[in-house]
């Protein structure tokens, strides 16, 4: 319900300016957890579907969040990060790992 509440709160402001919410992207730890844990991903996808079903759901390419969003009928947008390392399974490497965040020299 927390995600639903946050989307609803944002809608109050977007409605003031007659602008629909165009996309939803969980942030930080929630984003990373939703990429890996199906139950969390499904809860987020359901919250988006119930509140802003026409919005795109952004998530990590090949992650559980996008699978859950697609399954429920949401438009999805997959993303990747050029400045980050990935595991062999396609998940983001922890920022605590050496060279997890790529920096230009």
Domain assignments of the chain as residue spans, ordered by start = 2-79
In this prediction the pTM is 0.82
Q: Find residue 77's DSSP bridge partners.
A: 58
User: How far apart are alpha carbons 54 and 13 in whole angstroms?
Assistant: 17
Render pLDDT for 12-54 as a digit per residue (tens, 0 to 9). Answer: 999 999 999 999 999 989 999 999 999 999 999 999 999 999 9
Element (H, E) at 67: helix 64-72
How many CA atoms are closer than 13 Å to the CA of 18, on its beta-carbon side?
Answer: 0
Sheet of 75-79: strands edge to edge?
A: 23-24, 56-60, 75-79
């Amino acid at each position: 319900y927390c995600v639903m509440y946050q989307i609803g709160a944002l809608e109050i402001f977007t409605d003031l300016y007659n602008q629909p919410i165009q996309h939803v992207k969980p942030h930080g730890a929630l984003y990373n957890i939703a990429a890996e844990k199906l139950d969390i991903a499904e809860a987020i996808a359901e919250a988006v579907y119930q509140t802003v079903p026409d919005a795109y759901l952004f998530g990590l390419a090949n992650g559980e969040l996008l699978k859950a969003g697609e399954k429920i009928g949401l438009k999805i947008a997959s993303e990747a990060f050029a400045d980050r390392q990935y595991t062999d399974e396609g998940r983001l490497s922890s920022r605590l790992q050496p060279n997890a965040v790529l920096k230009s020299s």
